[in-house]
Structure 1
Amino acid sequence: MKPALKYWIFLLAIVNLIFGVIMASVVGSWFNLSDFEREFVHDIAGKILPFPVLGAFILVGAIGALVSLLFKYYIIPILQLAEETQLITQANPEHRIEPRGARELVYLTEVINASAEAFARLKTEVEEKISAARADLEEERRRLAALMSELPAGVLVCNRDGQILLYNDQAHKLLQSPGTQDPDGEAVGGLVGLGRSVFGVLNRDPIVHALELLQGALDQGQELSSSAFMMTLETGRCLRVNMAPVLAGRPEGREISGFVLTLEDMTRQIASDTRRDMLIQALTDNVQPALGEIRRAITTILGDPQLNPEQLRENRVTIDRASRELQRQLAEARESYARHLHDLSKVEYVLAENLLDILRKNIGERFGIAVRGEAPRGLWLRLDSYSLVQAVSHLAGLLRSHGSRSAFGIRIEDRGAGRAIMTIGWPEACLDHGFIRDWVRSPLVTDAQGKLLSFSDVVRRHGGELVIEATAAQSCHEVRIDLPADQRAHSRISASTPRSRPIYYEFDLFQQRGTQELGRQPLRKLTYVVFDTETTGLRPAEGDEIIQIGAVRVVNGRILTGETIDQLIDPRRPVPPDSVKIHGIDPELLHGQPTIEQVLPLFHRFAEGAVLVAHNAAFDMRFLQLKEKRCGVRFDNPVLDTLLLSSVIHAHQEGHSLDQIARLLNLTIVGRHTALGDALVTAEVLLKLIPLLEARGIHTLEDAFEACIKSPYAKMSF
């Protein structure tokens, strides 16, 4: 209830009380008078009655003025002083109270502001000490982040109930759902998130079974090892999953408090193995007829030594034709197998100038041979750089062992059409052609199956070709290597490189046990999805539509800026100019965007298991509820409204708009009237309000609901 309204109600009650006392006195006195006294009073009443009535009105006015002054200079300032003092101690130490009210209250305000200054200094000193004490811990966390971000496998750490405590970017990319990528290929609004259930993205049964096996081994005192199994996602991706337990407690009473999952994408490997099996089967089927023809012709020749010349010639022709066909098929099989190995090989994009610098440094430091070379800038080569450097360095070493210290020449040229030529030459030395041929055929590395590969094998694996240039029949002066190249690789690499090391963790969730009895959970420990919408207008029931939705997850008091949704929506109707002036979204940007039927199910899954939070939530929830049936979803999440929470805490403040609350809590608003910008500000407001709620005895979700029901703003509807 607003302070002014309280004042008028109180004043009306005082006036009624005064008139009631006067009337009661008059009536009581009248009945105690005798008949003579009543007649006397009746005679003089007309003469003296105006004066008491006038006095009563004067008295009422004086009391009203005193009550008004009491409220203006004491009661309302005291209530505001109490709210703002609590704001300083619980949420915004930088806030200072504006002196108002009576002189005594102004003095008290100055004392409180001085105490706030001392409190802020003390708080700063304590925070500095805490920051220094946590420096080592933060360093360890950064090391963990660096380690996890560089791992080639996806990693998930979960508590016993399957809530995700940690994940790295590889896991996020592996488990993102279809349709959750932006035009640059970045994952947006994926299903992986801190506090979410891993069973929302991975099949529950294999994980539970593996946990039961690990628990059984622990109960029997056996040594625990990891458990591995295969799993297929909805996207068709095949994963190899390794599970390792996380143990808690003392050695004599340990229990499994969680588990670590490492995820390896086997889709490519399985497809490659399938191609290999098909290749072997096709080779077997295709070779069999040719071998049959050769075998029959040889049997005929050996079985009848007296064959006439014509029959002998026909059988020889048959053997020749079948052997040539067999040779062709084997060549095709070898080429197909080379492509198969190429698919399995580890290739990378390397800048030509960087590769040349590495070769120059490696050969110069190891063998003392100068390397002259040139390479075009910005040309990306697709190859196994390690194998290439080792092979070329090996050639330099052979030259050095033959006593040659002549300069080495390496030239890389862009031939266009996705090809480049690397020319390796030794113009001042004369090497035997067979010597170079032995070099390109000598074992260099081993493949995944342990097979020895020569330099020529490695080149062929990467779709290249090696040519030995000879000046004479037995003399060689250079080797040319045809390699794949790509001028566009830089843009792809830049687009796929994370802007920061995206590792996300929240180990306090080890202590949470699912979402049971959500209403009794402390507000600090809940998982929230704070969201906001921008719309074509303010009347959802009359056809206004959502044109943008923004959301961010909050887990254990942390705003996860890496887990957000920021999506424009095609409303399939005009956007009024008045609305454009507010949110600034050009209607042209909405054409071709996903529709609400596509976006709302994604948001529903993003918010699964969380408490929804919005400012003036009734407005946003009304838009969502009107679309539930059409989109096939139902939002049964608990909902908190920061407007209602603010009105509970700051009941005597003049307004509770998002701007006013942010200003009161010393929060900077960025991106106002954009869905994600408002959602982020609302999330910060929520975290600032929680300690203020706790100071009023509001600790759980149920407590917050009961308090919000009593707010005068709780009656708003749309």
Structure 2
Amino acid sequence: MEYLEIVLMELSGAVVVCDRHARVLLHSAAAKRVFAGVPEFAPGCSLYQVCARASLEQTLRLVSQYAAGKTGVAGSEAETALVCAAADGSRLLHCRISAISAPHARDPYFLCTFEDVTRWITQEEKQGQRLKTLLMSMRSSLGNLVAAAETLHDHPEMAPEARHSFEEVVFRESTEIQGRFASLAQEVGGMQGMRCPVADVSSADLIECLAQRLRNEAAARVTMTGVPLWLRADAHALLAVLDRLARFVLRERSGGAIEMEALLGDRRVYLDMVWSGDPLPQPLIDAVLEEPLPGAAAGVTCGDVLRWHDSEVWSQKHRRAGLSLLRLPLPDSPRQWEMSAPPAQTVRPLYGFLPLRQGPEGLGDRRLDSLSFVVFDTESTAWATGGGNEILALAAVRVGDGRILSGERFEQVIRPGSAIPEETLSLLALSGDALQQAPTPQEMMQPFRSFVGDAVLVGHNAVCDMEWLRHTAEAAGGHLDNPLLDTLLLALVMAEDRTDFTLEGIGRDIGVSVNSGHTPMEGCYATAQVLLRLLELLAERGIVTLGQAVAAADQAAGRKHAQPDRRFQEEQEGRDA
């Protein structure tokens, strides 16, 4: 390891070695420069302090699966590339990650290289200026060449001395143009080498960078909605296009705010810009697409970038009344389907068919479609050990107006009250160091309560988690009286004979494709998708207020609680036999 550290310090590139928990073990001097704006960056810190957690965490998990041969990729090819956002959303980083094995180590380490995509922006702007200067300098020579050639053509009877003079002009200007054309070709070749390579990028990272840029430069607000998706793109060029189109929409239609959502359809990721009002005329859109991008070299346009991605742009009415959208269909990434299922649960899940709480008096009369929800999920030791239940992580995302506000998230690792065995941590993809440095449950509660506000809490099979949250709030000297909706119980309202209580099973029954994933945040997104569809189905049954939903769920829970669990009885009888 000491030898590797010496080698890294001599490298000119930004290289980081980390473990499977993204803890930095070693880094090159260039990496310190790339992350110069983050004082915490040093051996022992987490890469999640400098890079967007979700996309990097998924990539480390995917490369681990490559290295273990779980995805059909040979261990020697356990490498992938992505573009991720810096943790503060200020820039995009091109990252390549490969797994490296170490003697006597159970898990691989990861070699990560980083390059600031803004480097391409700066250098392309400089090259664009040089190209413009070269092209302008060729105008004079071309003019002289054309004039001399036309004179020779129009006056075949010209005296030999005069003809020789014009031929000298043709030769001199042709030589000059040839030299400048060679310089032009060299610049263009350099530009091609500088283009950001196509790589996997999360829609959330692109939208977050766009949102910060527009917030800082145009005082505009971008609200990210929906579930983040992976796409494959030239992230730098695509971000420039999104910036240009967003400013166009803000000017023409929306004033100071737009929404952005990623949708999956027909092996494409649709990036939608949404605003209140009418669609934009296609001729107006086409005109913007053919304008050169600000700062882009060689007059590259939005249309050029979209053609690189085999894409186009159009405007149409949104599915929500009174709204319209601008849609960009982009190539999706196979990563959407490469992620394997979570580890098989070794402990039979316990489902809580217990009554819900309606919350403060008067809230029950509020219509469900007027409420703000916070969907939460936890990571605990219960399913991994079959013993005591320690909550080790909490995540939440806001839902409102019929959409998932994926830009409003809460994620926190929590310090346990007792030591957690290493074999349990390996199943949960958490590190002992990260847990020991995390806040206690009581310290976590204040920022969580601030995030929740007066929203309705929503979880899946969440009764026990909710009791833990309320107990923790009381231990921290406060309270958590927010009402709770449980998607498991709401699904029972729709079908009381249900036997599959998983999010995936409920999703299949109600026509929503979900994947509860590996992390609490992925569980939040899946629960939120199921919630939105269940609210639509409840409304069709006349259940439109919070009080009606809680009452219907409580009735379904009461009937289910009174029923014997036949599957459990059969399993028990089989063991006794």
TM-score in terms of structure 2 length? 0.37
Q: Which entry has the higher C-alpha Rg, 1 or 2?
A: 1
Q: Which has the higher helix share?
A: 1
